[in-house]
């Protein structure tokens, strides 16, 4: 029931792009993405409710393919502040949210 | 909006002792979640409540763990007796879940059992 994230870790230089994937074995009601800095709580980035919907926030956007039960997070022109662990949370109904193992993103100058 | 408030921030206890973690959700949120985070197991959902009623406790590791939500503004997670393998960061999160609204996490309680 837990979603699967890939890759486990990414190392980038400032200005480079990255894609983080999240897939589920079950039909999804919604997918949401969070970023967690070391020693802090996860912070909400965005949520996707409909199949094929893409949402964006500055240089971070995401897509949700309901049919394939997959979501992807796109980080463009990465900044040092993007470093952290990214989690996807998946909901098979309106209540329960389970999280993937996370993808650690390191952006170097 | 003060956010989700958890206490204590850090707890160090000896094996066999009882531990109680506390959470105050955001006012108006009717869903409350308890998660445990470790390096090995990631973010695990332990239990969640809707309108103060436990809906799914299938993630609670064993009978040593119990959670209550006596009212809309307070929840506890209790471990009795505690064991070293319970050492982790425990997060509480709340949400309205309407329109797929996200989870708002507290700052977590770092539990160390020696």
pLDDT tens digits, residue range A77-99? 999 999 999 999 988 776 788 89
Whether the bond between A7 and the residue before it is cis, its omega within 30 degrees of 0, is yes
DSSP 3-state assignment of B16? coil
**Token pair recorded at residue B25:** 């959700």
- Can you tell me whether residue A82 is helix, strand or coil? helix
The C-alpha atoms of residue A33 and residue B79 are separated, in whole angstroms, by 30
CB contact under 8 A, A96 and B97: no
**Residue numbers in B near A89 (CB within 8 A):** 103
The C-alpha atoms of residue A21 and residue A70 are separated, in whole angstroms, by 7
Interface membership of A102 toward B (CB under 8 Å)? yes
User: Do A97 and B33 make contact, defined as CB atoms within 8 angstroms?
Assistant: yes
Tens digit of pLDDT for each residue in B54-105? 999 999 988 999 999 999 999 999 999 999 999 999 999 999 876 668 899 9
User: Residue B58: its chain A contacts at CB < 8 A?
Assistant: none
Distance from CA of B29 to the nearest CA of A (A): 12
């Amino acid at each position: 029931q837990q979603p699967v994230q890939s890759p486990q870790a990414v190392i980038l230089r400032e200005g480079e792009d990255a894609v983080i994937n999240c897939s589920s074995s079950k039909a999804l009601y919604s997918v949401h993405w969070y970023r967690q800095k070391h020693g802090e709580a996860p912070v909400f980035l965005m949520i996707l409710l409909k199949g094929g919907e893409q949402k964006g926030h500055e240089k971070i956007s995401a897509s949700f393919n309901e049919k394939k039960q997959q979501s992807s997070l796109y980080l463009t022109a990465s900044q040092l502040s993007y470093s952290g662990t990214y989690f996807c949370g998946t909901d098979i109904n309106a209540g329960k949210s389970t999280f993937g193992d996370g993808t650690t993103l390191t952006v170097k100058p | 909006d003060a956010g989700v408030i958890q206490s204590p921030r850090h707890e160090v206890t000896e094996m066999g002792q009882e531990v109680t973690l506390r959470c105050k959700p955001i006012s108006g949120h009717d869903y409350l979640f308890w998660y445990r985070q470790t390096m090995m197991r990631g973010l695990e959902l332990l239990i969640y409540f809707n309108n103060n009623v436990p809906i799914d406790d299938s993630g609670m590791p064993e009978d040593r763990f119990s959670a209550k939500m006596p009212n809309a503004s307070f929840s506890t997670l209790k471990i009795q007796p505690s064991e070293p393998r319970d050492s982790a960061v425990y997060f509480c999160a709340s949400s309205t879940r309407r329109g797929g609204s996200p989870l708002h996490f507290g700052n977590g309680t770092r539990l160390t059992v020696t």
